[in-house]
Amino acid sequence: MRSTIRLGSAALGVTLLVSVAGGSALAQDVSGSVDVHGSSTVAPISLAVSEDLKAANDGFGFTVGEEGTGDGFKQFLHILDGGRIGVSAMGVGMAQGALDEALAYAKERRAFGQPISKFQAIQAKIADISAEIEAARLLTYKAAILKDRGESFTLTAAQAKLKTGRLAVRACEEAVQIHGGYGYIEEYPVCRFYRDAKILTIGEGTDEVQQMVIARQLGC
């Protein structure tokens, strides 16, 4: 579907397109990412819009719905809202994984005659992350439940995305800290977790975008 967005005096048309088998690709693989090596990264290729959009469309696929209804951009934002729930779940999972690894290592690693898990400094890190993970998990569940019920979930999805992305970064950083020098060695998974976590504060809308969405939903 196509809609028009006005930025100052400029107007941008937005049309959602679906590719069919054998159609021309509008994205290309991007290599060299420092994180999430198990996931392909693509970047959009600029498509010059001709006077007749259908001419460009013929070799690609088809539009979603009818053009000119004004819903293209709205659908795009709705897709992002749903995607933020998925990314929030990734954040919770990554934070939980980091906590599990940190806890297991702290129980195994010994210093001054006892496991480092017995030291209050380590216990405080583990306790804080554990409590935050449970809160973030429930917030993510709430966003998913609202979506499943067909209720408005834009605010909750943005809150969950903001919270879980930041939590994943912090949990992974603390896990590396608990591992000490071993946390920077590829032999231990927290090293990879630490690299992977940062993208969760960027993908599906940066933290700053989530803050804007939340503020607007609250009537600011």
pLDDT at 29 > cutoff 90: no
Tell me the average pLDDT across 144-169.
97
Residue 49 CB coordination number (10 Å): 11
Confidence band of 80 (pLDDT split at 50, 70, 90): confident
Q: pTM score, two decimals? A: 0.76
- The residue assigned the tokens 């906590």 is 99
For position 148, what pLDDT does the model report? 96
Domain-embedded: residue 35: yes
| Catalytic-residue membership of 204 | yes
Could you tell me if 80 and 180 lie in one domain?
Answer: yes
Residue 33 CB coordination number (10 Å): 12
Could you tell me if 18 and 96 lie in one domain?
Answer: no
Q: How many domains does the chain have?
A: 2
State the average pLDDT for the chain: 81
Could you tell me if 86 and 28 lie in one domain?
Answer: no
Could you tell me if 44 and 87 lie in one domain?
Answer: no
Domain-embedded: residue 65: no
* Whole-angstrom distance, CA of residue 7 vs CA of residue 162: 26
Could you tell me if 95 and 189 lie in one domain?
Answer: yes
Domain-embedded: residue 121: yes
Domain-embedded: residue 67: no
Among residues 132, 173, 174, 204, the one annotated as catalytic is: 204
CATH number of the domain that residue 185 is part of = 1.20.140.10
Domain of 108 in residue numbering reads as 72-217
pLDDT (tens digit per residue) in 30-63: 555 655 655 555 555 444 444 444 544 555 444 5
Residue 174 CB coordination number (10 Å): 22
